[in-house]
Amino acid sequence: MSGKFSRRQFAKLAGFSALGLAATSANAAPKQKTAADPHAPARFPKDFRWGTATSAYQIEGAVNEDGRGRSIWDTFAHTPGKIEDKTTGDRANEHYHRYKEDVGLMRDLGVKHYRFSIAWPRVFPEGTGKPNPKGLDFYNRLLDELLAKGIEPYATLYHWDLPQALQDRVGGWQSTDTSKAFADYAGYIAERLTDRVKNIFTLNEAGRFLNFGYGWGIDAPGLKLPNAELNQARHNVVLGHGLAVQAIRARGRAGTKVGPAENIATCVPAFDTPENVRAAEIATRELNSGLLSVMLEGKYTDGFLEYAGKDAPKFTAEELKIIGSPNDFVGLNIYAPQFYIAASDKKPGWSVLPFPASFPHMSADWLRIGPETIYWAPRLAAKVWNLKTIYITENGTSSEDKVHADGKIYDLDRIMYLRNYLRQLQRAVAEGVPVRGYFLWTLMDNFEWIYGYEKRFGLVHVDFETQRRTPKLSASFYRDVVTRNAIGA
C-alpha cells in the first residue's frame, strides 16, 4: 500500500457501499481461555504452518534471461518518475540465480512452508500461446530444492506481473480475454507442477493492483480509469480467479488446494461490545463486496450494486457462478487496521471512525500499528463467510534497518510489531478461529514496488550492491517462535 491515498480511496478499495446491508450471520461469543499458568508461553496448534512469503518480480531479477517476456512492472519501473528511488526489479535479489542460498536462509529460520509467486511472463512470454519451457524450468529447480530441504511450496499465480503483451493487445484486466488467458496459464501450471505444489493461490491482493494500477495510476499499468471501467476490470479479475480455480481442478492432480490471497479491507470494532462486533461483521462484508464477498458468495451485495449505480459492472448469472467456485482456503494479507467500526443507529447500522493524526504507525506511514487487526480480521471473515481454512498469507513491516558497527541489524521495531501481532494471532487460533498457517512478509529485503529498495520488509538484510544476505535480529526472534511453536516465555 502507499501513503499516497486518502481514506475515501481506501473506502473504494473493494468498491464498497457506505450504505451497507445486514450481513447474514449473528455474532458468537469466543471460547474462553483456560490457561492454568499465566506465564506459560502462548502455544499454537501442533500442525500450525509457519512460513515466509516473497513474490517473483520483487526478488528474481534476471528479467531478460531464458526467454522471459516483459511484464507491466518492467515497463512501469522503467518509466521515469514512477519509482521513488529510481530503481527497477531488473536485478533485485538475483534470486533466479541465488535461489539455493535463499532456500538455505529459510532452512536456517526453521520454517517448513514457503509462499512464492510464479512470473506469468516467464512461462508464457506473450501471455498466451506458446509456453517457454526454460521459464518453467526455473520453478522446477526451485521446487526440487525446497522439497530437498523439507520446505513445502505454496505457489501464487499472479503477484501483479501481467505479461505486457496482454496489456498491449487487449488492455490487460480490462478484457475478459485476460481472465481466460489467466485460466489457461493456471491450468498449464497445475498440469506441470501439482505433483509437487499442493496449494495454489490464484491472485495476490486484487484490491491493490486494481485500485492502484487501474484506478489511481500509482502502480503498473498506471491507468486512471473512470468508475464504470474500473468496476468492469474488477469483475474481469474475479472472473479470472473463478476460471483459474476451475482450470486447476480440471487439470491439476486430485487433492490440489486452491484459493485467493487478498488484502481484506480490515475492520476492527472500535471497542469490544457485542454491538460494535456485529457492526464490524456487517462492515467486513460490505467493505469487501467487490472482491472477497463476490468470490466467496457468488454474488454482488445489494449494497455494492446500489452504490455503484450506473457504474456497476455488467455480468451474467453464469459468470457469477464461475466467480463463486468453491475455494479450499482463503489467504488474508494483514498489515494494519483500515477501518475502526462503531455500531450506529442510522442506516446502514455501522460507521467508520476517523483516525486521529496521532495514531501510531511503523516506518511506512500507511502501516498503522494495530495488532488486534490480525485477531479481528480472520475472526470476522470466518464468521461472515463461514470459512474453515484461513492462511495469513502476509504480515510484517518495513523498518529503517541499518547495519550497526558490529555488523548486526537490531530491528527492534520489527520485533515489537511481530511479537504483538503474533500474540493476537495466537489469541484468535486459541479461540477457534480457523487460521492454519502464517507466512511472514518477507524472507529478505526486496523491491518494494513504488518505493524501490528503500523500504525494507525482510527478516534478512540484503546489501543490493554485493547481494550479501545478513539475518537481522528479527530472524532470530522468528526462528524462536517457529521452533517453539509459541510466543512468549
Distance set, CA 116 to CA 142, 261, 417, 448 (Å)? 10, 12, 23, 15
Q: Are 287 and 10 in contact (CB under 8 A)?
A: no
Q: Does 202 bind ligand NOJ (CB under 6 A)?
A: no
Residue number with CB closer to ligand NOJ (204 or 327): 204
Binder of ligand NOJ out of 333, 351, 395, 426 (CB under 6 A): 333
CB of 368 to ligand NOJ, least distance (A): 13
Q: With binding defined as CB under 6 A, does residue 286 bind ligand NOJ?
A: no
Residues 6+ apart with CB under 8 A from 232: 174, 313, 314
Chain positions 407 to 446 lying near ligand NOJ, rule: CB under 6 A, are: 441
Paired sense of beta strands 435-441 and 49-53, if any: parallel
Q: Which is nearer to ligand NOJ, 59 or 103 (CB)?
A: 59
Count of chain residues binding ligand NOJ (CB under 6 A): 9
What residues numbered 449-478 form the site for ligand NOJ, per CB under 6 A? Answer: 457
d(CA 389, CA 68): 35
Hey, what's the cell of 394? Answer: 502476509
Provide the mask over 372-411, with x wherever binding to ligand NOJ is found by CB under 6 A and - wherever it is not.
Answer: ----------------------x-----------------
Distances (CA, A) of 384 to 56, 129, 292, 296: 32, 40, 11, 10
Nearest-angstrom CA–CA distance, 341 and 320: 29
Determine contact, residues 205/333, Cβ cutoff 8 Å: yes
- Could you tell me the smallest distance in angstroms from the CB atom of residue 55 to ligand NOJ? 5
The minimum distance between CB 451 and ligand NOJ, in angstroms, equals 8
Closest CA to 17 of 332, 334, 349: 349
> How far is Cα of residue 38 from the mean position of the Cα atoms in its chain?
34
State yes or no: residue 338 binds ligand NOJ (CB under 6 A): no
Output 60 or 394, the one with its CB closest to ligand NOJ.
394
Decide: is 448 part of the binding site for ligand NOJ (CB under 6 A). Answer: yes
3-state secondary structure of 150: coil
Give the residue numbers annotated as catalytic, written as ranges. 205, 394
- Cα dist from 82 to 85, 92, 220, 397, whole Å: 9, 17, 9, 22
CB of 138 to ligand NOJ, least distance (A): 19
Closest contact distance (angstroms) between CB of 462 and ligand NOJ is 14
Task: Specify the DSSP class assigned to residue 173.
Answer: G
Identity of the residue, 23 or 92, whose beta carbon is nearer to ligand NOJ in the bound complex: 92
Map the footprint of ligand NOJ across residues 114-133, applying CB under 6 A: none
Query: Should residue 93 be labelled a site residue for ligand NOJ when binding is judged by CB under 6 A?
Result: no
Q: How far is the CB of 52 from ligand NOJ (least distance, A)?
A: 12
Kindly tell me which of 58 and 178 has the beta carbon lying closer to ligand NOJ: 58
Exactly one of 161, 184, 205, 219 binds ligand NOJ (CB under 6 A); which one? 205
Q: Which of 55, 174, 276, 327 binds ligand NOJ (CB under 6 A)?
A: 55
Helix (H, G, I), strand (E, B) or coil at 88: coil
Any idea of the CA torsion for 486, 418, 207, 155, to the nearest 10 degrees? -50
Cell numbers describing residue 486 = 509459541
Residues near ligand NOJ (CB under 6 A): 55, 58, 204-205, 333, 394, 441, 448, 457
